[in-house]
């Protein structure tokens, strides 16, 4: 892409990485002999997420832009509003039905159900796919492309997705 622009969003959300098991899998070799690691992320917890979306184009519009930042913001606004202050949970998580019931019974839990374990990596792809679908829906996908999505979970940990 000759030109790229980025827009940053902030939202608060909880999640649970129900598949986490630090005793095996890619990278477990680094902690062998250090005792049994605590799988903290299987617990319900939350983050102050920072989402950066980067879109690009090889041409500029008649207004000399890739796309106005205002339009990028509006493409994601409803999704950001929906996920903000929610609990993101995989429908396959063993706790899903119970948390859905608690949310229904007490009305104090906003559930945002997804079809994947809500890791930072999977969420970055989720936002990427969502924005790409929005561009396609409006007939802009050929002119404008989603370059990448970066999702910061903490000040020191982020995931990036690009196709």
Q: Which residues are catalytic?
A: 41, 85, 153
DSSP of 41-81: GGS-EEEEEEEEEEEEESS--TTSSSS-HHHHHHHHHHHHH
Cβ-contact 54, 63 below 8 angstroms: no
Question: What are φ and ψ of residue 47, in 5° steps?
Answer: -140, 155
- Identify the sign of the CA torsion 15, 19, 25, 29: positive
Cβ-contact 15, 45 below 8 angstroms: yes
Where in the chain does DSSP place strands (E)? 3-15, 45-57, 86-90, 111-114, 145-154, 157-161
Cβ-contact 90, 100 below 8 angstroms: no
């Amino acid at each position: 892409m000759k030109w790229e622009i980025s827009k940053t969003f902030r939202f608060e959300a909880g999640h649970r990485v129900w598949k986490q098991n630090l005793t095996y899998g890619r990278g477990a070799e680094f902690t062998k002999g250090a005792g049994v690691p605590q799988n903290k992320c299987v617990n319900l917890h939350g983050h102050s997420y920072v989402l950066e979306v980067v879109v690009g184009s090889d041409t500029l519009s008649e207004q000399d832009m890739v796309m106005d930042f205002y339009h990028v913001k509006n493409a994601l606004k409803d999704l950001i509003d929906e996920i903000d202050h929610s609990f993101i949970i995989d429908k396959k998580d063993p706790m899903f039905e119970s948390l859905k019931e608690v949310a229904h019974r007490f009305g104090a839990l906003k559930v945002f159900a997804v079809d994947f374990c809500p890791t930072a990596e999977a969420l970055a792809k989720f936002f990427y796919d969502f924005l790409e679908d929005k561009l396609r829906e409006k007939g802009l996908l050929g002119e404008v492309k989603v370059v990448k999505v970066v999702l910061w979970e903490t000040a020191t940990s982020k995931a990036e997705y690009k196709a």
